[in-house]
Structure 1
Amino acid sequence: MSREQIQLQIKQIIERRMSDDGIKPTGISSVNMFRVTKSMRCAPAVYEPTIVAIVSGTKEAILDGQHFIYGNNQYLCCTMSMPVEAGTPQASNENPLLGIYITLDTKLMSELAIKYGNVTGVSRARRASMQPAGLNLAAWDESFSEALLRLLQLDESPADTAILADSRLRELYYAVLKGEAGASAMRAYGAGNEIARAIEYLSSHLSESITIDDIASQIGMSRAVFHRKFKQATTMSPIQFVKSMRLNDAAMKIAAGMTVNEAALCVGYVSSSQFSREFKRMYGQSPKQWGANKDLLEQAV
């Protein structure tokens, strides 16, 4: 079966399940369908490790000025927590955005990546190469396409889902490891994943005072080496990354109804005036103006 035929089947599954815009969970843990018919310009978001596969329409994500625009030719693989801007600028009633959003099980991906590296030697071969970026677009190759369809077909049978979901997820993850996003996945989850571990730590301690020297020391790197490898993985310096994560997280909280002062404190800012200055420098609006902008209250997938 061709990629186009498989995507048509996936599209039909989504259309049978969804008549309105939004995100709809499937019976498979971590796997969701989504439908968007409203054009939304890119707004701050924090991508956790995910796979986003589009079968109709196009989507955009921006990381440190680099635009990732993708439709049904490529899927997006985010292997690490990333501060991005995301939107659906071309979605409409005539051209709806339909797709699948899968939250990666990092424990399972690590297990498969380490095993894959041990069997093939891929992890050792790539350790000396340039660190891949944490956000990748990868082709819908045959293995990925067939694995995704087989996974989604389970949702039509509760018994099949209960018994086969874990094995079908493993099959999909394995297809990712073998595909164009495999190098990034191996860096994040295989042997030598120090930068991914550092990002996981930074992402979970945004409200605290974070010292870059301490992080570098924890993963056994000098500050200079850590800085270089971190920038190769994320396109940002560690300081830029932490600031972007904090401000993106705060922007999402404000859009969801939190006050400016509450959002600033939640992401580690002691001074509300400093938070407002840095927020306006990054987004071109004050936090209060941002919260009052109704167009930004709806978050794209």
Structure 2
Amino acid sequence: MSKDQIREILDRRLQEDGLVETAINGVQLFRVTSAMPCVPAVYEPSVVAIVSGAKEAVLDGARHVYDSERYMCCSMSMPAEAGTPEASPETPLLGVSVSLDTRVMTELAIEMENAPHGVRTSKGGAVPQGVALARWDVGFSDALLRLVQLTDSPADAAMLGAGRLRELYFAVLKGEAGESARRAFGVGNEIARSIAFLSTRLDETVTIDTLASEVGMSRAVFHRKFKQATTMSPIQFVKSMRLNSAAMKIAQGAPVSTAAMDVGYLSASQFSREFKRAYGQSPKQWSQNAVVPEGVV
């Protein structure tokens, strides 16, 4: 029932394709009716819930599809490829994107850990991956509906938005993606912190030793835990983040040389070689052929 009500709200609000900002900071509604192949993207910490159609994400070669049965929770910045291969006017993609506020998520994760009879996060074993798919449960569905209901009223959103965002975050932390999210935002969030550190320094030379030192780990332990969380080695991850960020800048109209420098490439020839190896086209060809997606990544 909640899901149907969310779709009714989106149908009413979204008359054309695109991404619509709402009165609640970090909450966006989107509609896509054109099929789009997967293109380079960078997922930021967020929850994306689909009420009609399906989206596809490719992370390190693994394909993930999420739809009205499963939402996507990304708990740390991740390089990916994303697309809407099945969207059409007859079967539009409709959904909601909610940014995850680091401060609030951290507060909730720690409170849940310390509360009497609270949800416990496992201390040992493999680090959960940074992108997780989770089934819509009743708590998530109801919390998302209550949040989306505020998007029609700026006054209501100003008064109640923060509380309903917190309610949705809590539902995510309790749900199937909760283990991944709690490890990213709560105690033991070293890998998420290292990625946040790296994401603001793509134009700098950041070594594995620097990242490991930043979170107080040995190089070997850091490398192992990083690969568990991202499926990539730190070196692969850095390269993917830089190339995907550059590809997005070029698709949005930035000159190739500017995009390359913005993500730390000092050699144009090296950038071109690595770009073509990753995407099968030179940066110049990409700038001519790239399609800027109208919906969220």
Give the TM interval when normalised to the shorter protein: over 0.9
* Residues 230-263 of structure 1: CA deviation (Å, up to 9, x unaligned): 0000000000000000000000011111111111
Q: Residue type matched to 2:269 in 1?
A: S
Give the alignment of 1:208-219 within 5 angstroms: 208-219=204-215
Kept in 1, the 8 Å contact 2:203–2:265? The answer is yes
CA contact (8 A) 1:40 1:89 kept: yes
Indicate conservation of the 8 Å contact 1:40/1:300, yes or no: no
Q: 2:100 matched to which residue of 1? A: 104
User: Could you tell me how far apart the structure 1 residues matched to 2:165 and 2:292 are?
Assistant: 32
* Matched positions, count: 295
- Summarize the alignment of residues 100-249 of structure 1 with structure 2, pairs less than 5 Å apart: 100-119=96-115, 120=117, 122-123=119-120, 125-249=121-245
Aligned residues of 2:57 and 2:82 also touching (Cα < 8 A): yes
Structure 1 regions of 5+ residues with no counterpart?
Answer: none
Q: CA deviation at 1:155?
A: 2.2
Cα deviation for residue 159 of structure 1 reads 3.1
Secondary structure of 2:113's counterpart equals: helix
1:192-250 deviation per Cα after TM superposition (whole angstroms, max 9, x unaligned): 11111000001110100111111111211110000000000000000000000000000
% identity of equivalent residues: 62
What amino acid sits opposite 1:140 in the alignment?
Answer: W
DSSP 3-state at the match of 2:98: strand
**Which residue is 2:287 aligned to?**
291
Q: SS where residue 127 of structure 1 aligns?
A: coil
Q: Residue in 2 aligned with 1:65?
A: 61
**Distance in 1, Cα, partners of 2:153 & 2:40:** 37
C-alpha separation in 2, matches of 1:162 and 1:298: 30
Indicate how the Cα distance of structure 1 residues 151 and 298 shifts in structure 2: closer, same or farther if over 3 A, else same. closer
Aligned partners of 1:87 and 1:300 also within 8 Å: no
Distance in 1 of aligned mates of 2:181 and 2:277: 33
1:19 corresponds to: 15
CA contact (8 A) 1:59 1:71 kept: yes
Kept after mapping to 1: 8 A contact 2:127/2:229: yes
Structure 1 stretches of 4+ with a deviation exceeding 6 A read: none
Secondary structure (helix, strand or coil) at the match of 1:214 reads helix
Cα distance in 2 for residues equivalent to 1:87 and 1:210: 30
The Cα offsets for residues 258-278 of structure 1, whole Å up to 9 and x where unpaired, read as 111111111000100000000
Indicate conservation of the 8 Å contact 1:86/1:300, yes or no: no
- The answer (yes or no) to whether the contact 2:19–2:294 under 8 Å persists in 1 is no
Q: Does structure 1 retain, via aligned residues, the 8 Å contact 2:203–2:263? A: yes
How far 1:121 sits from its partner (Å)? 5.7
Which structure has greater helix proportion? 1
Compute the TM-score of the two structures, normalised by the length of structure 1. 0.96
Tell me the secondary structure at the aligned position of residue 82 of structure 2: strand
Query: 1 CA distance for matches of 2:248 and 2:238?
Result: 16
- Answering whether residue 40 of structure 2 is matched by residue 44 of structure 1, we say yes
Measure, in 2, the Cα distance between the counterparts of 1:161 and 1:50: 19
Deviation of 1:129 after TM superposition, in Å, equals 2.5
Q: Indicate the residue corresponding to 1:84 in structure 2.
A: 80
Contact 1:138 1:180 in 2 (8 A): yes
Q: CA deviation at 1:299?
A: 5.2
Counterpart of 2:266 (choices 259, 270, 274) is: 270
User: Is the partner of 2:63 in helix, strand or coil?
Assistant: strand
> 2:238 is matched by which residue type in structure 1?
V
Q: Deviations over 1:46-76 (max 9, x none)?
A: 1110100000001001110111101100000
The one-letter amino acid paired with 2:72 is L
What is the letter of the counterpart of residue 293 of structure 2? E
In structure 2, what is the Cα distance between the partners aligned to 1:299 and 1:278?
27
Contact conserved, 1:83 with 1:241, CA < 8 A, in 2?
yes
Amino acid at match of 1:219: V
- 2:187 is paired with a residue of what secondary structure? coil
